């Protein structure tokens, strides 16, 4: 299969085979308003184009390259969702079963409610939360049980669920929740009998040769580190300021940092494209090894949220029925779309929390340039 690598290193770096996408992104990186971007697109013929523009570290003048590592935050959910689906397709996880079938402590789960006088009370939910509720953000769990991600192992995250009430009745409302995805992967640990990250390596990362993917990258000042620096964007000078969050602090290899299913992975943009291409290839690796069966891919491309909810979500990705597209984004500006029916995909990685007019402009430029390039 032909693969075109188009690398455009903006500013003082040489341009090599820059595609129209890289040409479109270059000016905003040269302006100093955006540090550096890696774009990867795969067209319906299987031709892959990679554009790397600007800097991974502005102060050190380190260019973005196709092996630059990014914290992909919530883009982790889709990869965790794929692992979860391997157990669904094997019949080892029943989506319609109550969560307590796999996590016995959930038999005591409570939901926050009001009594007849309007007083706050805790009671058993009218309907027991199901496994499907966990994987589709409809269980009633809040976003996290306090703190931030990476603080606890997944099995403990599942146990903590009984210490805090659900915010609403299961299967009645979509509410985005890292906690739900974490509990779903705790079920995977119960079924497999091994840490979910080890299972992920064996079932997803290794078969797809996603060699850059890790929960514990080298620190950004170590020799050989490829980690992109995160920058807070501002409309005032200085436009960019390097920032640290707990998810991107030293030491990454510390025992207190756990592999978090809702948002813990680091990887390169081309490696994420390998994952999306597996979906386009009907669940198979380039060599033909089956990661997901066709029925699992079909399930992925089906709304898992209840009819009362417009949001279509399941297994770590949003589903757009009209466009035939699975998609997700991450908190530090990582985005991925796979157009299942049209047979193409795109990835847009850079590293900045939140956004302002310039970050939205950069995203809009890439959005339009990549759509035009792929004929979407």
- For residue range 66-115, list pLDDT tens digits in order: 999 999 999 999 999 999 999 999 999 999 999 999 999 999 999 998 88
Residue 150 pLDDT: 82
Residue 113 within any structural domain of the chain = yes
Residue 328 within any structural domain of the chain = no
Higher per-residue pLDDT: 115 or 282: 282
Which are the contacts of 6, defined by CB distance < 8 A and separation ≥ 6? 16, 17, 18, 19, 21, 22, 49, 50, 51
Tell whether the model's pLDDT for residue 285 goes beyond 80: yes
Quote the number of domains for the chain: 1
- For residue range 242-267, list pLDDT tens digits in order: 766 555 555 555 556 789 999 999 99
Residue 375 within any structural domain of the chain = no
Residue 139 within any structural domain of the chain = yes
Q: What's the whole-model pTM score?
A: 0.91
Residue 15 within any structural domain of the chain = no
Residue 323 within any structural domain of the chain = no
Lowest mean pLDDT segment, chosen from 33-37, 146-150, 247-251, 359-363 = 247-251
Q: What percentage of the chain carries pLDDT values higher than 90? A: 70
Residue 346 within any structural domain of the chain = no
Residue 127 pLDDT: 94
- For residue range 149-169, list pLDDT tens digits in order: 788 889 999 999 889 999 999
CA dist list (Å): 18 to 23, 39, 244: 6, 11, 31
Residue 219 pLDDT: 58
CA distance 211 to 197: 14
Q: Please choose, from the candidates 246, 269, 271, 266, the residue with its C-alpha nearest in 3D space to the C-alpha of residue 257.
A: 246
Question: Which residue has tokens 């306090």?
Answer: 146
DSSP letter string over 276-332? HHHHHTTTB-TT--BSS-HHHHHHHTS--S-TT-S--EETTEEEETTTTEEEEEETT
Higher per-residue pLDDT: 29 or 281: 281
Tell whether the model's pLDDT for residue 10 goes beyond 50: no
- For residue range 294-323, list pLDDT tens digits in order: 999 999 999 999 999 999 999 999 999 999
CA distance 142 to 112: 12
- For residue range 183-227, list pLDDT tens digits in order: 999 999 999 999 999 999 999 999 999 999 999 886 555 555 788
* Residue 350 tokens, joined: 């850079």
Domain that holds residue 117: 94-192
Residue 129 within any structural domain of the chain = yes
């Amino acid at each position: 299969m032909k693969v075109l690598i188009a690398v455009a290193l903006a500013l003082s770096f040489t341009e090599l085979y820059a595609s129209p996408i890289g040409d479109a992104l270059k000016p905003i990186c040269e302006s100093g308003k955006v540090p550096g971007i890696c774009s990867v697109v795969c067209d319906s013929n299987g031709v892959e184009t990679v554009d790397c523009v600007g800097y991974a570290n502005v102060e050190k003048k380190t260019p973005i390259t196709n092996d630059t590592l990014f914290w992909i935050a919530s883009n982790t959910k889709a990869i965790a969702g794929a692992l979860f689906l391997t157990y669904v397709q094997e019949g080892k996880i029943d989506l319609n079963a109550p969560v307590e079938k796999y996590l016995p402590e959930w038999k005591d789960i409570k939901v926050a409610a009001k009594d007849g006088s309007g007083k706050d009370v805790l009671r058993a939910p009218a309907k027991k939360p199901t496994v499907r509720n966990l994987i589709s953000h409809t269980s009633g769990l809040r976003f996290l049980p306090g703190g931030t991600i990476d603080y606890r192992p997944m099995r403990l995250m599942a146990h903590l669920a009984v210490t805090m009430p659900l915010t609403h009745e299961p299967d009645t409302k979509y509410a985005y929740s890292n906690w739900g995805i974490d509990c779903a992967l705790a079920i995977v640990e119960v079924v497999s009998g091994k840490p979910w990250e080890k299972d992920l390596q064996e079932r997803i990362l290794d078969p797809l040769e996603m060699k850059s993917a890790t929960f514990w990258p080298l620190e950004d000042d170590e020799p050989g580190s490829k980690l992109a620096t995160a920058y807070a964007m501002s409309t005032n000078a200085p436009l960019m300021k390097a920032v640290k969050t707990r998810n991107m602090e030293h030491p990454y290899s510390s025992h207190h940092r756990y592999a978090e299913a809702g948002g813990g992975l680091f990887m390169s943009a081309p490696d994420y494209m390998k994952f999306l291409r597996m979906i386009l290839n009907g669940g198979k690796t380039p060599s033909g090894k089956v990661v997901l069966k066709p029925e699992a891919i079909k399930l992925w491309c089906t709304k898992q949220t209840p009819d009362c909810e417009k949001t279509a979500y399941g297994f770590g990705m949003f589903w757009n029925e009209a466009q035939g597209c699975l998609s997700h984004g991450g908190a530090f500006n990582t985005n991925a779309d796979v157009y299942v029916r049209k047979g193409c995909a795109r990835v847009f990685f850079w590293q900045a929390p939140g956004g302002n007019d310039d970050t939205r402009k950069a995203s809009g430029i890439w959005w339009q340039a990549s759509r035009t390039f792929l004929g979407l």
